[in-house]
Amino acid sequence: MATMRDVAERAGVSVTSVSHVINETRAVSDELRARILAAMSELEYQPNRLARSLRSGKSQTIGIIIPDNSNPFFAEVVRGVEATSFAYGYSLILCISNADLEKEEHYIGVLIEKQVDGILFMAVGASTNQILSLQQRRVPVVVVDREVAGVAVDTVLADNARGGWLATRHLLELGHKCIACITGHNAFSLSAERVDGYRRALHDADIPPDEALIVPGDFSFASGYDAIQHLLALRDAPTAVFACNDYMAVGAICAAVEMGRLVPADLSVIGFDDVLLTSFTNPPLTTIAQPCYDMGVAAATLLLERMHDPELPTRRQTLGIDLKVRGSTAPLVGD
């Protein structure tokens, strides 16, 4: 591999001049800069990023920890983060925790060792100590898509409670009264917020929530599938279901069809997220759309601002949501 000295010899300049051009530590003439850049190109010279980060204290990298790389929601958030980071000259290091607190702690340690300039993460849930530790180390951090109790930290969220309310109100307006809810992972604040919205919509309609119709899930296809098998076996089976994410909603539709129920004629199903596949399910899924890409952009922007000015006050940004009505919900027929 070419070295800085090789570049200096090819360009006919000093190593110091090459260093000033690479690190932008002192102005040089346009003619000298052009010679050095040409020599770097001819020799395919790559600056030693580690050495540069040790000198400057900046690595020009951002770390992001997500719980799942198979869910399109997280992929779309990461896409927004990457686009924004890249536009400002930062590279992204992606870590996947599988919603495991021990893995999350491990990857935080890895990112600190890599000397990232900031960390974005979708916390497993009980991540207060990790965030406090990062803040004590003066590592800028932003939490995306969920709240972390007991710590002041920059946060980007969707309006989950309103989304749960809007989904349930849609089913109520279609004439459904026996409405089930498949909850998400208990460790995530967003799940509780969506269920709170579901309960509030029922309360607004003077319908007492039936705890037998609130079934735990974990945001996976399988948990939605299992939940519907349980719910449709009840004596007073629901005519509609709100699943707290699209994956569980799709799993619910699969189970309902296998049990001989028609969606939406026998069972209306609504999800939450509006990931790409929901437009292509059979029937297409009615869902609450949250701005996944924009959440990534907002989170990266907050982090870049925090990196630039560590003394900024803590910010909490909540993005709006929309109801996307498709083919999986329909008016209740008969009683």
Question: Does the pLDDT of residue 157 top 60, yes or no?
Answer: yes
Distance, CA of 198 to CA of 179 (rounded, Å): 9
List the Cα angle 62/187/181 in 5-degree steps: 120
Please tell me the distance from the alpha carbon of residue 78 to that of residue 88, in angstroms, as a whole number: 15
pLDDT at 217: 93
Superfamily of domain 160-290: Response regulator (3.40.50.2300)
Per-residue pLDDT at 222 = 95
- How does residue 32 score in pLDDT terms, banded at 50, 70 and 90? confident
Helix 246-258 vs helix 221-232: crossing angle, to nearest 10? 50
Confidence band of 333 (pLDDT split at 50, 70, 90): confident
Residue 249: name the closest of 144, 324, 156 by CA.
324
Q: Is the pLDDT of residue 49 over 60?
A: no
Average pLDDT, the chain: 88
| Reported pTM | 0.79
pLDDT tens track for 253-292: 999 999 999 999 999 999 999 988 888 888 999 999 999 9
Buried-state track 42-52, b at ≥16 Cβ within 10 A, e below 16? ebebeeeeeee
More confident residue, 30 or 289: 289
Give me 199's structure tokens: 């309960």
Domains 59-158+292-319 and 160-290 belong to one CATH topology: yes
Superfamily of structural domain 59-158+292-319? Response regulator (3.40.50.2300)
What are the φ and ψ backbone dihedral angles of 317, each rounded to 5 degrees?
Answer: -110, 125
Structure tokens at 335: 């009683």
pLDDT digits (tens, 9 = 90+) for 100-132: 888 888 898 899 888 899 999 887 665 777 888
Cβ atoms of 105 and 121 within 8 Å: the answer is no
% of the chain beyond a pLDDT of 90: 55
pLDDT at 118: 93
Instruction: Please tell me the predicted confidence (pLDDT) of residue 25.
Output: 67
233 or 8, which is more confident: 233
DSSP string, 126-144: --HHHHHHHHHTT--EEEE
| Of 109, 242, 258, nearest in space to 176 by CA | 242
pLDDT of 180 > 80? The answer is: yes
List the structure tokens of 315. Answer: 């910010």
pLDDT at 54 (0 to 100): 45
Q: How does 160-183 read in b/e, with b if 16+ C-beta sit within 10 Å?
A: bbbbbbbbbbbbbebebebbbbbb
Domain ranges of the chain: 4-47, 59-158+292-319, 160-290
Give the pLDDT mean for 323-335: 90
pLDDT score, position 122: 83
